[in-house]
Amino acid sequence: MTEPGIFSLLWVLIALPLAGAAILLFGGRRTDRWGPYLGVLTVCTSAVIGVLMLLGLMALPAEERSITQTVYSWIAVGSLQVDFALQLDQLSMVFVLLITIVGALIHIYSLGYMAHDPDRRKFFGYLNLFVAAMLLLVLANNYLLLYVGWEGVGLASYLLIGFWQYKPSAAAAAKKAFIINRVGDVGLSLAIMLIFVTFGSVTFGEVFGQVGEASEGTLTAIGLLLLLAAAGKSAQFPLQAWLLDAMEGPTPVSALIHAATMVTAGVYLIVRSHVIFDAAVWAATAVVVVGLITIFMGAIIGSAKDDIKKSLAGSTMSQIGYMVFAAGLGPIGYIFAIFHLLTHGVFKAGLFLGAGSVMHGMNDDVNMRRYGTLKGLMVITFVTFMAGYLAIIGIPPFAGFWSKDEIIHAAFERNALIGVATILAAGITGFYMTRMIAMTFFGKARWEEGVHPHESPKVMTIPLIILAIGSTLLGMALLFWGNIESWLEPVTGFASEPTPFPTWVYIVVTLIVVIIGAIIGWVMYARRPVPIEAPRGSWLTRAARKDLYGDAVNDALVVRPSFALSKALTIFDARGVDGFVNGLAGSVGAISGRLRRTQTGFARSYALSMVGGALLVALALVLVQS
Amino acid sequence: MTEAVSDFNLGETIVFWVCGGLAVLGALGMIISRKAVHSALFIALTMINLAILYVANAAPFLGMVQVIVYTGAVMMLFLFVLMVVGVDSSDSLVETIKGQRFAGLLLGIGLGLLLTVGIGSALTTSGDIGLTAANDAAGGNVQGLAQLMFDDYVVAFQATAALLITAAVGAMVLAHRERWTPRKSQPELSEERFRDGGHPGNRPSPGVYARHNAVDTPALLPDGSTSLDSVPGPLRARDDVRDVDPADVDEIRELTKGVDS
Amino acid sequence: MEFISPELDYAALAPMIVVGVAAIISVLVEAFAPRSVRRFLQLVLVFTTLIGALVLVVLNSGMRVLTGGQSIALDGPAWIMQGTILILAILGGLLMAEGGVDPSGDAFAPRASALPGSEDERQFTIRGYLQTEVWPFLLFAVLGMMLFVASNDLLMMFIALEVMSLPLYLLAGMARRRRLLSQEAALKYFLLGAFSSAFFLFGAALIYGYSGSIAFGPISFAITTKAGENTLLLIGIAMLLVGLFFKIGAVPFHQWTPDVYQGAPTPVTGMMAATVKVAAFGALMRLLYVAFGGVRWDWEILLWIVAILSMLVGSIIAISQSDIKRMLAYSSIAQAGFILVGVVAASPQGLASVLFYLIAYGFTTIGAFAVISLVRNASGEATSIRDWAGLGKKSPLIAAIFSVFMLSLAGIPLTGGFIGKWGVFAAGVAAGDAWLVIVAVIASVIAAFFYVRVIVLMYFADPTPDTAAVVIPSGFTTVSLAAGATLTIALGIVPQPILDIIANAGVFIR
């Protein structure tokens, strides 16, 4: 299908924010004054085009809702043919809308939030860059182009996490995010290579068409590598450690990138590649296990953190765990993974922006133990936050209820045990989210001296209101009016299996567990006074405050050994040549015979290594000769 | 020589073992000797013996070139340089890098063994071809080489010109000191020499009462002290002046006792 | 016996003849032209020559000939590599021509013969002397490289190797600043280079002993016809490879690289890093594929080992470097390992991917060194990585360009480096070297760390009093830098034209 009408603008969708980024980043100080508005404008225009495309797509019959636009032939060498081609189908459509609309709201919010930042032009440049890369990621029609977007969102993410570089913690967090993401990227690049070798193509359509011809072993390997990639980008176990630190970035960034869009790229990748996972049972099972572990890890971390953004980050991990989990369930779960992704994107963005609004009023303090009784002082923030709260814990009719309920139901379709686990996790969600609102909006004021909480300006509250409306209605809208199941079915497939009890039983049980969790949270944090110094807590709380020792494990297993190895190799390699050279640079005038002798000394040890190398080369050839 | 190994005649065998042995000895001596001059002479020994082996193996041109170019020109140039630096100068052979020598020995022996065993086993199984056929084809060894050099390898031959030009220009760049002041005339020089009240005459040569023939050994003055003036400036600047044996000083003092008093 | 004069294909040899003759004219200019006009004459001569030779290469690119007996093969890959070398040499030459960055002249010592720190040196500097002999050296080195990639015979290859190396040894020792470091580096480079040449020669002799020839065609024929005992052949290959591994800077023959990259004048480092990689990999592939294709299974394992060692050692050691030139040196070692992955594949796809990689790497490297030559403090170039902190604030454009180069070296998409890496890795996987590629991908992750560390430092750290300043260069460096940056990005976004050229070039002729 070629690109009629509005769809010929597919490339413009990406080009607009990209041009915005280029102008803002290379334009220099000239653009300081009007730059941020340009950044908002480009994304808003993309959003409008996105909506028009949705209308265009809906006007088409279901089987024609996949449009490919080849911008140009990117790499064509031998059997490798990769086009710079974009593909718009039902799955990418919903992502385009999520990215552009939530992105536009967050751009607008940032106008207020970053109003006083001297570098805000650059901030909007990075945000535009992110939007462009994320759109490329979801619109790519082949894995290689997807990888371009994948790296692009990563790059924008590091730049934004480290945006407040004067905080050493921010720079460290950016570096950490980068390193851990690279591990995931290894998975993706190896997967793409394996896909290319197996199928002779990297284009989605051609690959999925030939899946039947590949062996299950190969498909499992590809699936596991894709899972590794998804785990890196979506902060899933065992690559979860970077997301909590990523909260060092400005709050709009946390909302857009580290809650609503980029971190869900892993889910997109799995659902997009569902044909491979359908054929590789073990890989799919691994996806379920990873998702399930992360659901609990995230929830436990979320329950223990006193930093409002980190607590929300733990919650994000947990919710994405739900999506990954659902995506691992196979055709019974794909649609609900995306459904939850959409509702979560909206209500979590709302929660983060709400948290940002609270911080804005509290002199950028993030410690919830220093909040309290803000409900009367920040009415709009409070009300909108409550909408997000009710959505995330899954109270009908708020958005999260519909999507999470579907995932829990799908889990029971597969296996009662994992179903029970998801209900339990929903209970914990109820607990930690109640804890959050209790500590923030209720109880007694525990403010620092000199803090005068106040409501945020309109430019910040209007996006909050819009997102709150979304948190309330989006679930119903998508399910009943948008008919998300039949919309996505042509792309992802859909299946349903019978369960032992009628649906309402699961709904009621889940609700009861969630409410019990919420009541516990309420009793512990709203009825009792909250100490300003955090109590020592149980071993689980202590572990959770340390991100369940994610850093310690990384440090002990990866970071320290690799640095030690590098140091050792350096010494082995140069035997202190560095030190010698530095000494030489410091005393250029002092030529002495002794120094000269040391110089030849090093040349002879280099020569020695060459002799060793020659021996190695000769042995390798002679001993292994066939 | 187109026949198999066993058909070497006795003379050839003797030449091989004598010259081969001397060549190896020369190579070892070159590495082991402390003095640069000795090393240079040992290389010359190796080169000459190799030249004899080449001639014995039907490659007379190569043998001659080896003698004329390497032993004759290159090595003699080395020796001239060493004379300037001081024939007696020797480098410290104390190894400053821990384990370097041992590792070097180990790897050297390893590589040597591998090559000897590998090449040896390969050569015993394949017969040798020799140069007779190749030499006869062109009507002689020199003619054969000429044929190759000006036909198939003419480009390679031309390319070596680039190498030689680079080497010559490189040597000039690194060693030729340009003047940045106008050259001083003879009167100016002599005037300068007297003006600063220094030593107006010739400097003492290292030969006066010298007990060594090396330029880095200062002359001994009759009173037994050394004259640093007798050592060339660059050596003094590099602090490469040799100490004089106290026994020599005593001996000179003994000899000159009463002469100038 | 009658002598039949040789038949040379002068048309095919024309680019090399032009460069060679120009080099000799350049020496004559040194000898006879007055000092005041030498620099001008040399620049005109060098750039006219290089551009002229490039035009000839383009005109010749359809030819597929063996000439000079069988000693020179001018085939598709040879034209591509000669063209690449010429373009990179033009860009590198532009860096060498830069005279406006160092307040006291160009990047070279005013007189290489003046003792460092002496009154002579000071006087030459004050009087504005320039060592214009660097230009004939550049031309001779280019001649050697062009010959190196076209050598189809061990003797030719050896001579080309030396013609290429000797001028580089000299150029490496002629830095204006930190001259002792530079001279030490040059001496080491020369000694070890001579050592590796000896290995190469020894290997050539053994191969002659095995096959009775030093031309690639007869060697390949001997391999296919001689069954059984081939220890002599294998040891010969091993010794030849030692010589070539040294030139590409593969582990364990890499140790000269950091010293020389650091010590040599930065424009020379850039030119050398880019062009020698092209030349040496070209020669390596021709030797392995054309002469020793018949024993591919024997040398494959060896290349595996060397590739893995190079990738891991290079990228791991680079992490702990504190000098940006040393870091790029170790990075070049790791890159050599990545390129070897494509060489191991030993397929047309592998050859094409290596050619692309070399082109992308060359432009990126020259650009990166161009940036280094601009980032300076009072004592010359600020090569300590610490001094780059906060450069993104002080000079956003230069920092952004350098980031592009680092991202390309790290293999991040939309840069030439990404396509290059992807190409060689895909070729490796297609040739059945999946494990090698896995190691390569892991190494590229480690490598990404230190490339990005520089970016992080430039953007995420605040400028300190030590932070270096960026000097505004003259047109020479600007053109070179702009070309490097543009091509690095263009090769990532629209690589197709180059890929087409490479695809049309085909494989080595025999």
Residue A401 has pLDDT above 80, yes or no: yes
CB C140 within 8 A of CB B136: no
Residue A592's domain comprises 581-626
pLDDT value of residue C232: 86
Residue A348 to residue A102: CA distance in whole angstroms:
11
B161 inside domain: yes
Residue C1 has pLDDT above 70, yes or no: no
Contacts of A152 in chain C (CB under 8 A): 413-414
Contacts of A593 in chain B (CB under 8 A): 238-240
Given CB atoms, is A55 within the 8 Å cutoff of chain C?
Answer: no
Residue C366 has pLDDT above 70, yes or no: yes
Residues 408-427 of C with CB under 8 A from A: 412-414, 418-419, 422-423, 425-426
C3 inside domain: no
Residue C285 has pLDDT above 90, yes or no: yes
Closest CA to C448 of C482, C481, C421, C483: C421
Mean local confidence (pLDDT), B109-113: 88
pLDDT value of residue A382: 87
Q: Examine the domain organization and report whether B105 and B136 are in the same domain.
A: no
Share of chain C above pLDDT 70, in %: 99
C113/B175 Cβ within 8 A: yes
- Tens digit of pLDDT for each residue in A53-81? 888 888 888 777 788 888 888 777 666 77
B75 inside domain: yes
pLDDT value of residue A214: 81
Q: How confident is the model at residue B8 (pLDDT cuts 50, 70, 90)?
A: low
Q: Which chains touch C (3 or more CB pairs under 8 A)?
A: A, B
Q: How confident is the model at residue A33 (pLDDT cuts 50, 70, 90)?
A: confident
Q: Which residues contact B24 (CB under 8 A, 6 or more apart)?
A: none
- Tens digit of pLDDT for each residue in A441-480? 887 777 777 777 778 888 888 888 888 888 888 888 888 8
Tally the domains of chain C: 1
- Tens digit of pLDDT for each residue in C426-444? 888 888 888 898 889 888 8
CB C76 within 8 A of CB C273: no
Residue B166 to residue C143: CA distance in whole angstroms:
12
Q: How confident is the model at residue C137 (pLDDT cuts 50, 70, 90)?
A: very high
Mean local confidence (pLDDT), A581-608: 45
Q: Examine the domain organization and report whether B4 and B16 are in the same domain.
A: yes
Q: Which of A79, A565, A588, A617 to mutate to test the interface with C (most CBs of C within 10 A)?
A: A617
Q: Examine the domain organization and report whether B137 and B221 are in the same domain.
A: no
Q: How confident is the model at residue A582 (pLDDT cuts 50, 70, 90)?
A: very low
Could you say which DSSP state residue A479 is in? Answer: I
Contacts of A573 in chain B (CB under 8 A): none
- Tens digit of pLDDT for each residue in A194-223? 888 888 888 888 888 888 888 888 888 889
Pick the range with the lowest mean pLDDT from A293-297, A526-530, C350-354.
A526-530
Work out the burial of residue B19: count CB atoms within 10 Å of its CB; fewer than 13 is exposed, 13-18 middle, 19 or more buried. Answer: buried
pLDDT value of residue A386: 87
CATH number at residue B26: 1.20.120.1200
pLDDT value of residue B214: 66
Q: How confident is the model at residue A601 (pLDDT cuts 50, 70, 90)?
A: very low
Residue A345 to residue C372: CA distance in whole angstroms:
44
**Arithmetic mean of pLDDT over chain C:** 90
Give pTM, 2 decimals: 0.83
Residues 14-73 of C with CB under 8 A from A: none
Residue A86, φ and ψ in degrees, nearest 5: -110, 145
CB C48 within 8 A of CB C38: no
Mean local confidence (pLDDT), A50-55: 87
Share of chain B above pLDDT 70, in %: 78
Residue C480 has pLDDT above 50, yes or no: yes
Gyration radius from chain B CA atoms = 27
Given CB atoms, is B223 within the 8 Å cutoff of chain C?
Answer: no
Residue B124's domain comprises 100-130
pLDDT value of residue A561: 63
**For the residues of A335-401, what is the DSSP string, one character each?**
HHHHHHHHHHHHHHHHHHHHHHHHHHHTTT--BGGG----TTTSHHHHHHHHHHHHHHHT-TTSHHH
Beta bridge partners of A414: none
For the four alpha carbons of A73, A77, A81 and A86, in that order, the dihedral sign comes to negative
A427-462 exposure pattern, b = at least 16 Cβ within 10 A, e = fewer: bbbbbbbbbbbbbbbbbeebbeeeeebebbeeebbe
Residues 92-121 of A with CB under 8 A from C: none
Q: Measured between CA atoms, how close is C156 to chain B, in angstroms?
A: 6
Residue A613 has pLDDT above 50, yes or no: yes
B197: left (phi over 0), alpha (psi -120 to 50) or beta: left
CB C331 within 8 A of CB C409: yes
Contacts of A608 in chain B (CB under 8 A): 100, 103-104, 107
Given CB atoms, is C143 within the 8 Å cutoff of chain B?
Answer: yes
Residue C409, φ and ψ in degrees, nearest 5: -65, -35
Residue A572 to residue C213: CA distance in whole angstroms:
41
Residue A349 to residue A514: CA distance in whole angstroms:
22
C27 inside domain: yes
CB atoms within 10 A of CB C462: 11
Better-predicted residue by pLDDT, B42 or A549: B42
Better-predicted residue by pLDDT, A68 or B122: A68
- Tens digit of pLDDT for each residue in C145-169? 999 999 999 999 999 999 999 999 9
CB atoms within 10 A of CB A172: 16
Mean local confidence (pLDDT), B47-75: 89
Residue A84 to residue A75: CA distance in whole angstroms:
8
B195 inside domain: no
Residues 545-564 of A with CB under 8 A from C: 562-563
pLDDT value of residue A575: 46
pLDDT value of residue C201: 95
Nearest-CB residue to C191 (from A28, A151, A603): A603
Residue A436 has pLDDT above 80, yes or no: yes
Q: What are the CA-CA distances from residue B203 to residues B216, B222, C69, C371 (Å)? A: 14, 15, 62, 54
Q: Which of B85, B111, B115 to mutate to test the interface with A (most CBs of A within 10 A)?
A: B111
Residue A527 has pLDDT above 80, yes or no: no
Tally the domains of chain A: 1
A533 inside domain: no
C148 inside domain: yes
Could you say which DSSP state residue C249 is in? Answer: T
Tally the domains of chain B: 4
B238/A597 Cβ within 8 A: no
Work out the burial of residue B133: count CB atoms within 10 Å of its CB; fewer than 13 is exposed, 13-18 middle, 19 or more buried. Answer: exposed
- Tens digit of pLDDT for each residue in A341-356? 888 888 888 888 888 8
Residues 164-193 of C with CB under 8 A from A: 178-181, 184, 187-188, 191-192
**For the residues of C51-70, what is the DSSP string, one character each?**
HHHHHHHHHHTT--EEETTT
pLDDT value of residue A90: 84
B111/A604 Cβ within 8 A: no
**For the residues of A89-146, what is the DSSP string, one character each?**
-HHHHHHHHIIIIIHHHHHHHHHHHTTT-TTHHHHHHHHHHHHHHHHHHHHBSBHHHH
C131/B173 Cβ within 8 A: yes
| Single-letter amino acid code for the residue at C482 | A
B96/A618 Cβ within 8 A: no
Q: Which chains touch A (3 or more CB pairs under 8 A)?
A: B, C
Q: How confident is the model at residue A594 (pLDDT cuts 50, 70, 90)?
A: very low
Beta bridge partners of A80: A77
Contacts of B158 in chain C (CB under 8 A): 20
**Arithmetic mean of pLDDT over chain A:** 80
pLDDT value of residue A494: 78
Residue A574 has pLDDT above 60, yes or no: no
Q: Which residues contact A519 (CB under 8 A, 6 or more apart)?
A: A434
DSSP H/E element including A71: strand A67-77
pLDDT value of residue A300: 84
Residue C148's domain comprises 10-505
pLDDT value of residue B151: 83
A496 inside domain: no
Q: How confident is the model at residue A417 (pLDDT cuts 50, 70, 90)?
A: confident
Better-predicted residue by pLDDT, C300 or B7: C300
- Tens digit of pLDDT for each residue in C39-91? 999 999 999 999 999 999 999 999 899 988 888 999 999 999 999 999 999 99
CB A616 within 8 A of CB C305: yes
CB A506 within 8 A of CB A408: yes
A603 inside domain: yes
Contacts of B62 in chain C (CB under 8 A): none
Q: Examine the domain organization and report whether B65 and B2 are in the same domain.
A: yes
Q: Which residues contact C121 (CB under 8 A, 6 or more apart)?
A: C109, C110, C111, C114, C115
